[in-house]
């Protein structure tokens, strides 16, 4: 694919660059539910969900609309218990986000509403530079720059920037550039447009430069080589051994996690390889989490004694419990 040669510089001609994005977005922008609202709470929920989850997951499985139907405002979430909160978040992963969102809701409720200044927004629990700017732009239509993974990729290609975009110096540079390019008069439109550009034409790998509405401003001759990122740790393969234990009444033994990452969630109880060596293995499941590739070996065990943190649950109650996605899929398959 031949990439169009750059004939303009976005930093020297920011107005035409912004206009080109705005025209394209006005004709082709996607209709996401969080783009139909200026409610800062609805915008915040979308931003927190999308931090580490793809749009297709958030929308396709109804997480966003379902969460807002359960917790339509900060005051409702502020008083929510763990069980309904984690159940509503089930399948999105990174459950610390849900609890931090509740802390934000409590602070906003106590303050009587959302602030709109960057300094005050960043004093809220869980609100950093990106989220504060996103709230400013998308909820209040106030001047603000946002830099997420999509925007970082677009900027790196526009400027032919060959330093690691996820390094401290790289992030600092991209935020400076983003602030210079940000549209002070159309912040909601501009930021939505540049983020969507990174999701569509300026996608990871080989982009569609011929269709890009700002290709004339893009300096890099090899867009597929950018952005540069720091090397990630190698994926580590690990094995876990869990029990599928049912008592005489048909109840299932589950363990409630207490660690920081999945605190409060229910899963099949783990045992050591030695403890499961003589138990029949009835299924295996594989899944990825951060830098680990996990193989979960499921062993059948009748009426095992419950240990600390473990309890028996009727089959009909399983659907109401909050459970990590790999365990939910395993349990549903075994019940089927």
* Each residue's pLDDT tens digit, 145-192: 999 999 999 999 999 999 999 999 999 999 999 999 999 999 999 999
Please calculate the CA angle 71-75-80 and round it to the nearest 5 degrees: 60
DSSP one-letter code for 3: P
Round to whole Å and give the CA distance between 34 and 39.
9
Question: Given the structure tokens 């499921």, which residue do they identify?
Answer: 298
Question: How many domains, in total, are found in the chain?
Answer: 2
Q: Say if 163 falls within a structural domain.
A: no
Same domain? For 195 and 62 the reply is: yes
pLDDT digits (tens, 9 = 90+) for 241-266: 999 999 999 999 999 998 766 789 99
Residue 222 lies inside a defined structural domain of this protein = no
- Could you tell me if 64 and 190 lie in one domain? yes
Is 47 in the active site? Answer: yes
Per-residue pLDDT tens over the stretch 182-220: 999 999 999 999 999 999 999 999 999 999 999 999 999
Q: Between 149-159 and 168-181, two packed helices, what is the crossing angle to 10 degrees?
A: 80
Q: Which of 13, 47, 236, 308 is catalytic?
A: 47
- 128-134 contacts at long range (C-beta below 8 A, 24 or more positions apart): 129/175, 131/44, 131/47, 131/48, 134/43, 134/47, 134/191
pLDDT at 1 over 70: no
pTM, 2 dp = 0.92
pLDDT at residue 194 in the model:
98
| Enclosing domain of residue 276 | 236-335
Q: Give tens-digit pLDDT for 260-273.
A: 667 899 999 999 99
| CATH classification of the domain holding 260 | 3.90.79.10
- Region 320-326: mean pLDDT is 96
Query: Sign of torsion, CA 93 97 102 108?
Result: negative
Is residue 8 in some structural domain? no
In whole angstroms, what is the distance from residue 58 CA to residue 140 CA? 23
**Same structural domain, 194 and 283:** no
Task: Please give the pLDDT value at position 303.
Answer: 76
3-state SS string for 227-256: CCCCCCCCCEEEEEEEEEEECCCCCEEEEE
Establish if 209 belongs to a structural domain: no
């Amino acid at each position: 694919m031949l990439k169009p040669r750059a004939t303009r510089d976005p930093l020297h001609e920011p107005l035409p660059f912004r206009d080109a994005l705005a025209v394209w977005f006005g004709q082709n922008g996607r209709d996401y539910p969080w783009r139909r609202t200026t409610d800062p709470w609805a915008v915040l929920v979308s931003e927190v969900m999308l931090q580490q989850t793809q749009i297709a997951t958030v929308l396709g499985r109804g997480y966003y609309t379902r969460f807002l139907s359960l917790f339509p405002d900060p005051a409702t979430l502020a008083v929510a218990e763990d069980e309904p909160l984690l159940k509503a978040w089930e399948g999105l992963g990174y459950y610390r986000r849900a609890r931090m969102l509740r802390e934000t809701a409590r602070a906003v409720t106590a303050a009587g509403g959302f602030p709109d200044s960057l300094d005050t927004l960043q004093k809220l629990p869980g609100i950093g530079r990106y989220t504060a700017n996103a709230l400013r732009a998308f909820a209040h239509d106030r001047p603000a720059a946002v830099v997420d993974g999509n925007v970082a990729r677009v900027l790196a290609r526009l400027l032919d920037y060959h330093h690691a975009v996820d390094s401290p110096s790289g992030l600092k540079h991209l935020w400076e550039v983003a602030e210079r390019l940000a549209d002070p008069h159309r912040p909601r439109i501009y930021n939505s447009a540049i983020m969507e550009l990174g999701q569509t034409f300026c996608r990871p790998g080989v982009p569609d430069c011929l269709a890009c509405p700002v290709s004339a401003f893009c300096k890099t001759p090899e867009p597929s080589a950018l952005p540069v990122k720091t090397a990630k740790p190698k994926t580590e393969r690990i094995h876990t051994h869990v029990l599928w234990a049912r008592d005489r009444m048909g109840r299932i033994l589950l363990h409630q996690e207490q660690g920081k990452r999945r605190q409060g969630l229910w899963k099949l109880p783990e045992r050591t390889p030695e403890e499961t060596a003589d138990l029949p293995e009835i299924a295996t499941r594989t899944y990825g989490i951060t830098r680990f590739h996990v193989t979960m070996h499921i062993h059948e065990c009748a009426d095992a004694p419950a240990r600390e943190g473990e309890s028996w649950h009727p089959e009909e109650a399983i659907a109401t419990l909050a459970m990590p996605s790999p365990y939910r899929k395993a349990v549903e398959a075994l019940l089927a």
